[in-house]
């Protein structure tokens, strides 16, 4: 679900420039408990340098963002519906949870909102724009 | 080279609010029934740039938009810059009445968004005779806390960055990017602790859920409009308020928490009929 972050947030991307002062390890969880999936995202100088899908042995992370798989799917739609278009919208309706040391997240809040939203399908480029 | 000049005039006025002299900045345009517009928490009057520039509105209304003390171009009162800031219902109402009195407005229409949409309920409760009508945008009687607002004001987090990021998410994805950028920029420019201090009113002191039944809309009509993408004040929150007030509410499709600023042209399509109704009322 989150493998694309290595490309959309990798070295040299606008996101890496935006987060240039940031080093963090973010755990992303989809689904609950043992039946859910987990993905560890390592960020260095704002660039996503590693995306590791679980199961992970003794993972170490700064903060975790967790939501049900269907709620992640709503957030990741090209045009998400109301209540799912922003991380804090999901937080407000109790569908998402932030845990751990939230300082890297809250001091780079727009970076993380845009990073995760970067996995949304992009609008198709108009043919004349590619000519 | 030519320059397009907007019809908006900006001025400063010195007025007393709760025993202190304030230098308050306001903008205005148009002539007619006074329409006082109240910006959201942590922002300033630029949010109403399209209303001030709309010929159809300003043909019938003297539109007045002031920056609350500590916001935009209205600096804190002398000697108070380092005071702890937490907006109260009394202080907010006093600011609005002071501006209306200073400008000698006769029964103005007041339109407020978010905290402004909340204070119009307090105005309806306390001073219904002073207003021709009230318009609440993103208006609810209370909001349950859903994040720790301490993150908005601490020395190890850039206040402008985090406030801008919060405002960004409150807008609808369909709103034009340039207008969304303008809207979050206002938040990025806010003074330290101001957004958080305003939220004290929004989330704590301004809770008016216990007094809604005492509001008499026969004394002062209330119009409620809420954007479909707002998660802070959802359409259902406003719908519930409208039901208890016994008034209609309009859900504005494809708009978020800052309708007049994030999608101004679309918002005007919703506002103009409301103003016509008020003028004909």
Q: Which residue of B has its CA nearest to A94?
A: B146
Q: What is the pLDDT of residues B113-165, one digit of tens each?
A: 999 999 999 999 999 999 999 999 999 999 988 899 999 999 999 999 999 99
Query: How high is the pLDDT of residue A124?
Result: 62
Distance (Å) from the alpha carbon of A94 to chain B's nearest alpha carbon: 9
Test mutation, A15, A75, A84, A107, chain B, max B CBs within 10 A: A107
Q: Is A33 left (phi over 0), alpha (psi -120 to 50) or beta?
A: left
Q: Is the pLDDT of residue A131 over 70?
A: no
Query: How high is the pLDDT of residue A130?
Result: 41
Helix (H, G, I), strand (E, B) or coil at B19: coil
Sign of CA dihedral B166, B170, B175, B180: negative
Query: How high is the pLDDT of residue B144?
Result: 87
Concatenating the DSSP letter of every residue in B107-151 gives S-EEEEETHHHHHHHHHHHH-GGG-SEEEEES--S-----S-GGG
Q: Which residue of A has its CA nearest to B175?
A: A79
The domain limits of chain B are 9-280
Query: How high is the pLDDT of residue B280?
Result: 95
The answer to whether the Cβ–Cβ distance between B165 and A107 falls below 8 Å is no
Collect all residues of chain B within an 8 Å Cβ-Cβ radius of residue A121. Answer: none
Q: Is the pLDDT of residue A30 over 60?
A: yes
B120 vs B37: CA distance, rounded Å: 11
CATH of region B9-280: 3.40.50.1820
All structural domains of chain A, each given as residue ranges with its CATH number in brackets, are: 5-119 (3.30.1050.10)
Q: What is the pLDDT of residues B195-230, one digit of tens each?
A: 999 999 999 999 999 999 999 999 999 999 999 999
Paired tokens of A54: 């679980």
Supply the mean pLDDT for chain B.
97
Query: How high is the pLDDT of residue B145?
Result: 86
Q: What is the pLDDT of residues B239-256, one digit of tens each?
A: 999 999 999 999 999 999
Q: Which residues of B touch A (CB under 8 A)?
A: 146-147, 151, 156-158, 161-162, 164-166, 168-170, 172-174, 228-232, 234
The four Cα atoms B241, B242, B244, B247 give a dihedral, to 10 degrees, of: 160
Q: What is the pLDDT of residues A77-127, one digit of tens each?
A: 999 999 999 999 999 999 999 999 999 999 999 999 999 999 999 866 555
A129 band by pLDDT with thresholds 50, 70 and 90: very low
Distance (Å) from the alpha carbon of A126 to chain B's nearest alpha carbon: 18
Question: Can you name the residues that pair with B29 across neighbouring β-strands?
Answer: B63
Q: Which residues of A touch B (CB under 8 A)?
A: 79-80, 82-83, 85-89, 91-93, 102-103, 106-110, 113
- Selecting from A83, A102, A113 the residue whose C-beta is nearest the C-beta of B231 gives A83
Collect all residues of chain B within an 8 Å Cβ-Cβ radius of residue A89. Answer: 169, 231
Query: How high is the pLDDT of residue B92?
Result: 98
Collect all residues of chain A within an 8 Å Cβ-Cβ radius of residue B156. Answer: 103, 107
Query: How high is the pLDDT of residue B63?
Result: 98
Query: How high is the pLDDT of residue B281?
Result: 84
Contact at 8 Å (CB) between B13 and B100? no
Collect all residues of chain B within an 8 Å Cβ-Cβ radius of residue A92. Answer: 146-147, 231-232
A36 band by pLDDT with thresholds 50, 70 and 90: confident
Concatenating the DSSP letter of every residue in chain A gives --TTHHHHTSTTSHHHHHTTT--EEEEEEESSGGGSEEEEEEEETTEEEEEEES--SS---SEEEEE-HHHHHHHTSSSPPTTSSSHHHHHHTTSEEEEE--HHHHTTHHHHHHHHHTTSPPPPPPHHHH-
Q: What is the pLDDT of residues A59-91, one digit of tens each?
A: 999 999 999 999 999 999 999 999 999 999 999
Q: Is the pLDDT of residue B1 over 90?
A: no
CA angle B219, B131, B231 (to 5 degrees): 90
Query: How high is the pLDDT of residue A33?
Result: 61
Q: Which residue of B has its CA nearest to A91?
A: B146
- Selecting from B146, B164, B229 the residue whose C-beta is nearest the C-beta of A92 gives B146
Collect all residues of chain B within an 8 Å Cβ-Cβ radius of residue A108. Answer: 161
Strands B20-29 vs B61-66: parallel, antiparallel or unpaired: antiparallel
> How many other β-carbons are positioned within 10 Å of the β-carbon of residue B189?
16
The answer to whether the Cβ–Cβ distance between A85 and B173 falls below 8 Å is yes
């Amino acid at each position: 679900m989150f493998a694309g972050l290595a490309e959309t947030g990798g070295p040299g991307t606008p996101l890496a420039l935006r987060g240039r002062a940031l080093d963090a390890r973010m755990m992303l969880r989809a689904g609950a408990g043992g039946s859910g999936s987990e993905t560890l995202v390592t960020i260095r100088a704002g660039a996503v340098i590693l995306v590791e899908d679980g199961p992970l042995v003794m993972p170490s992370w700064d903060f975790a963002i967790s939501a049900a798989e269907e709620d992640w799917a709503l957030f990741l739609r090209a045009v998400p519906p109301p209540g799912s278009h922003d991380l804090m919208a999901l937080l407000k309706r109790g569908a998402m949870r932030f845990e751990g040391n939230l300082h890297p997240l809250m001091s780079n809040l727009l970076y993380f909102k845009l990073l995760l939203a970067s996995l949304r399908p992009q609008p198709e480029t108009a043919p004349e724009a590619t000519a | 080279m030519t320059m397009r000049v907007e019809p908006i005039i900006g001025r400063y006025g010195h007025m007393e609010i709760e025993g202190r002299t304030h230098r308050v900045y306001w903008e205005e345009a148009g002539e007619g029934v006074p329409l006082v517009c109240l910006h959201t928490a942590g922002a300033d009057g630029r949010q109403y740039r399209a209303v001030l520039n709309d010929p159809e509105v300003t043909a019938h209304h003297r539109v007045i938009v002031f920056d609350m003390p500590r916001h935009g171009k209205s600096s804190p009162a002398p000697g108070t810059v380092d005071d702890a800031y937490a907006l109260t219902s009394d202080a907010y109402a006093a600011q609005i009445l002071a501006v209306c009195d200073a400008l000698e407005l006769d029964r103005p229409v007041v339109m407020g968004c978010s905290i402004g949409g909340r204070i119009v309920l307090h105005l309806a409760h306390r001073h219904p005779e002073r207003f021709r009508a009230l318009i609440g945008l993103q208006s609810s009687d209370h909001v349950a806390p859903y994040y720790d607002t301490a993150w908005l004001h601490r020395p190890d987090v850039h206040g402008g960055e985090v406030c801008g990021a919060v405002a960004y998410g409150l807008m609808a994805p369909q709103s034009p990017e340039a207008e969304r950028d303008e809207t979050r920029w206002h938040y990025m420019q806010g003074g330290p602790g101001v957004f958080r201090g305003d939220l004290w009113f929004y989330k704590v002191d301004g809770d008016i859920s216990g007094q809604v039944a005492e509001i008499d809309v026969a004394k002062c009509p209330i119009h409620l409009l809420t954007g479909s993408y707002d998660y802070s004040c959802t359409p259902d929150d406003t719908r519930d308020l409208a039901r208890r007030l016994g008034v209609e509410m309009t859900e504005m499709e494809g708009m978020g928490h800052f309708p007049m600023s994030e999608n101004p042209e679309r918002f005007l399509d919703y506002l103009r009929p409301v103003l016509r109704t008020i003028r004909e009322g």
